Chain A
Amino acid sequence: MSADATYNYAYLDEHTKRAIRRAILKAIAIPGYQVPFASREMPMPRGWGTGGVQVTAAIIGPDDVLKVIDQGADDTTNAVAIRGFFTRVAGVATTTRTVDATIIQTRHRVPETPLKAHQILVYQVPIPEPLRFLEPRETETRKLHALADYGTMHVKLYEDIAHFGEIATTYAYPVTVDGRYVMDPSPIPKFDNLKLNDCPALQVFGAGREKRIYAVPPHTRVISLDFDDHPFAPQRFTEPCALCGSTGVFLDEVILDDRGGRMFVCSDTDFCNGRQADGHRGCLAGNPIQDEEKRDA
Chain B
Amino acid sequence: MYVAVKGGEAAIRNAHRLLAHQRRGDPLVPELSAAQIDGQLALAVDRVMTEGSLYDRGLAALAIKQARGDLVEAIFLVRAFRATLPRFGATEPLDTSAMTIRRRISATFKDLPGGQILGPTFDYTHRLIDGALEGFEPPAPASAEPCQDPVPRVTDLLGEQGLIEPSPADDGFEPGDLTREPLAFPIGRDLRLQALARGDEGFLLALGYSTQRGFARSHPFAGEIRLGEVEVELDVEELGFAVTLGTITVTECQMVNQFKGSAAAPPQFTRGYGLAFGHCERKAMAMALVDRALRARELGEDIAAPAQDEEFVIMHADNVEATGFVEHLKLPHYVDFQSELDLVRRLRAAWSADAIKEAAQ
Q: Which residues of A contact B (CB under 8 A)?
A: 42-45, 71, 73, 76-78, 80-81, 84-85, 88, 127, 132-133, 135-136, 163-164, 168, 252-258, 260
CB-based contact A78/B161 at 8 Å: no
CB-based contact B215/A136 at 8 Å: yes
Cβ of B346 < 8 Å from any Cβ of A? no
**Chain A binder among B124-132, B237-245, B285-293, B311-319:** B124-132
Contact (A258, B113) CB under 8 Å given A77-B118, A80-B124 = yes
Q: Smallest Cβ distance from A222 to chain B, in angstroms?
A: 23
Contact (A77, B124) CB under 8 Å given A133-B217, A136-B214, A255-B112 = yes
Return chain A residues, CB-CB under 8 Å to B123. 77
Q: Smallest Cβ distance from A87 to chain B, in angstroms?
A: 11
Q: Give A252 to B112 CA distance when docked, in angstroms.
A: 12
Return chain A residues, CB-CB under 8 Å to B109. 253-255
Which residue of chain A has the shortest Cβ distance to B121 in the bound complex?
A77
11 extra A-B contacts, CB within 8 A, seeds A88-B126, A252-B110, A258-B152: A43-B127, A44-B127, A45-B127, A77-B123, A77-B124, A81-B126, A127-B213, A127-B214, A163-B260, A254-B109, A258-B113
CB-based contact B124/A71 at 8 Å: no
Complex A-B: 7 CB contacts under 8 Å: A77-B123, A81-B126, A136-B305, A254-B109, A254-B112, A255-B112, A258-B113
Which residue of chain B has the shortest Cβ distance to A71 in the bound complex?
B110
Which residue of chain B has the shortest Cβ distance to A168 in the bound complex?
B260
Q: Give A254 to B116 CA distance when docked, in angstroms.
A: 12
CB-based contact A78/B124 at 8 Å: yes
Return chain A residues, CB-CB under 8 Å to B215. 136
Q: Give A44 to B125 CA distance when docked, in angstroms.
A: 7
Return chain B residues, CB-CB under 8 Å to A71. 110
Return chain B residues, CB-CB under 8 Å to A164. 260
Return chain B residues, CB-CB under 8 Å to A255. 109, 111-113, 157
CB-based contact B110/A133 at 8 Å: no
In the complex, chain B residues 125-143 whose Cβ is within 8 Å of any chain A Cβ: 126-128
Cβ of B160 < 8 Å from any Cβ of A? yes
Which residue of chain A has the shortest Cβ distance to B129 in the bound complex?
A43
Q: Give A88 to B217 CA distance when docked, in angstroms.
A: 38
Q: Give A78 to B125 CA distance when docked, in angstroms.
A: 10
CB-based contact A254/B260 at 8 Å: no
Q: Smallest Cβ distance from A262 to chain B, in angstroms?
A: 9
CB-based contact A136/B213 at 8 Å: yes
In the complex, chain B residues 209-243 whose Cβ is within 8 Å of any chain A Cβ: 213-215, 217
Q: Give A163 to B217 CA distance when docked, in angstroms.
A: 18
CB-based contact B126/A260 at 8 Å: no
Report, nearest first, the 5 A-B pairs whose CB atoms are least far apart: A136-B214, A43-B127, A81-B124, A255-B112, A132-B214
In the complex, chain B residues 89-148 whose Cβ is within 8 Å of any chain A Cβ: 109-113, 118, 123-124, 126-128
Q: Give A133 to B118 CA distance when docked, in angstroms.
A: 32
Q: Give A43 to B126 CA distance when docked, in angstroms.
A: 5
Q: Smallest Cβ distance from B262 to chain A, in angstroms?
A: 11
Return chain B residues, CB-CB under 8 Å to A80. 124
Return chain A residues, CB-CB under 8 Å to B161. 260
